[in-house]
């Protein structure tokens, strides 16, 4: 198995049993006019993150590594949000904004909306898997775990936005389910700023997995393709 130069220490990874997870690369979290932009989050690094993820996805597809998209979206009637008894309705950004500002009702992270759509430059390709979720963790209320186990996947390379919210939530959940989580450190950004991203990277490297750069991952994917 290839030995990746990762942090906090190198890790052997079986690319035949790996997948790239793309978390919430949607207009809501990447584009001006989307949910995070409306919420006042600085999206200045989002275009670079999207471009870097694109290079990893291209290398992954060429090497035959499955690409799995997680896409946050609610039904138009909001019946899958958890309702008033769920903290999800109070803390999730889109739901909070729609509750506070009537002009946004029915527009943020609703299935079929511009806000919920994957950004054009990272559109899913034939053979990719897209899983819709309604909570920060991609494992909650979805088929993600069964889809991974059916494919014999053990190692998960995480990319996407936001590092400290849905990416870290899903990565932690993967660790609890005995997957091997690896965060591609330059393929993510935080909702908050550099110090927030640093905290997520610290958590991953210290307690929940490993980090690796996109250059390191692409080099091993290219070797597998060859």
Which residues are known to be catalytic? Answer: 24, 133, 166
Distance CA 199, CA 56 (A): 24
Neighbours of 206 (CB within 10 A): 9
Residue with token string 């993510």? 188
Q: Is the peptide bond before 142 cis (omega within 30 degrees of 0)?
A: no
């Amino acid at each position: 198995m290839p030995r990746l130069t990762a942090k906090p220490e190198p890790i052997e990874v079986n690319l035949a049993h790996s997948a790239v997870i793309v978390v919430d690369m949607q207009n809501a979290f990447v584009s001006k006019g989307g949910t995070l932009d409306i919420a006042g989050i600085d999206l200045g690094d989002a275009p670079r993150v999207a471009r870097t993820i694109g290079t990893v996805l291209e290398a992954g597809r060429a090497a035959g590594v499955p690409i799995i998209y997680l896409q946050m979206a609610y039904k138009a009637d909001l019946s899958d949000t958890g309702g008033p008894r769920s903290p999800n309705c109070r803390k999730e950004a889109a739901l909070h904004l729609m509750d506070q500002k009537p002009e946004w009702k029915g527009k943020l992270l609703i299935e079929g909306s511009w806000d919920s759509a994957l950004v054009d430059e990272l559109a899913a390709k034939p053979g990719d898997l897209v899983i819709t979720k309604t909570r920060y963790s991609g494992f909650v209320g979805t088929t993600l775990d069964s889809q991974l186990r059916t494919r014999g996947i053990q190692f998960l390379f995480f990319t996407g936005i936001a590092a400290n919210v849905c990416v870290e939530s899903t990565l932690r959940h993967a660790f609890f389910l005995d997957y091997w989580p690896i965060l591609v450190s330059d393929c993510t950004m935080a909702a908050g700023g550099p110090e927030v991203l640093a905290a997520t990277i610290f958590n991953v490297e210290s307690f929940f997995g490993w980090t690796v750069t996109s250059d390191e991952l692409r080099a091993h994917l290219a070797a597998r393709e060859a």
